[in-house]
Structure 1
Amino acid sequence: MNMLKLTQEGTRKLENELQYLKKRKKEFRNSPEKDFIMSRMEEIERVLSSSITWPVVREAADFVEAGSTITIEETVYKERYTYTIVHPYEADPRDNMISVHSPIAKAAIGKTVNTLICVQVPAGENLTYNIIDIQNC
Structure 2
Amino acid sequence: MAMLKLTQEGTRNLEKELQYLLKRKKQCRNTSEKEFIHKRVSEIKDILAQSITWPMVREAGYHVEPGSTVTIEDTVHRERYTYTIVHPFEADPRENMISVQSPIAKAAIGKTVHSTFTVRVPFGEDLTYTILDIQNC
TM-score band (shorter)?
over 0.9
In structure 1, give the amino acid aligned to 2:36: F
| Equivalence for 1:129 | 129
* Structure 2 counterpart of 1:83: 83
> How big is the shift at 1:122?
3.8
Is 1:58 the counterpart of 2:58? The answer is yes
Residue aligning to 1:106: 106
C-alpha RMSD of matched pairs (Å): 1.1
TM-superposed CA distance for 1:28, in Å, is: 2.5
Match in the other structure for 1:41 = 41
Q: Which position in structure 1 is the counterpart of 2:14?
A: 14
The runs of 5 or more residues in structure 2 that have no matched partner are: none
Q: Which runs of 5+ in 1 are unaligned?
A: none
| Secondary structure at the counterpart of residue 84 of structure 1 | strand
For residues 23 and 56 of structure 1, what CA distance do their matches in structure 2 show?
30
Q: For residues 76-104 of structure 1, give each alpha carbon's deviation from its aligned partner in whole angstroms, at most 9, with x where no partner exists.
A: 11000000000000000000000000000
TM score, norm. by length of structure 2: 0.96
Change (3 A) 1:45 1:125: same
1:114 deviates by 0.5
TM-score by length of 1: 0.96
Identity of aligned residues (%): 71
Deviations 1:43-81 (Å, cap 9, x if unpaired)? 000000110000000000110000000000000110000
Q: Which residue identity is paired with 1:16?
A: K
The alignment of Structure 1 onto Structure 2 pairs a total of residues equal to 137
The letter of the residue matching 2:75 is: T
> How far apart in 2 are the matches of 1:24 and 1:83?
35
Q: CA deviation at 1:31?
A: 4.0
Report how far residue 123 of structure 1 moved. Answer: 2.9
Structure 1's 19 and 116: CA in aligned 2 closer, same or farther, altered over 3 A? same
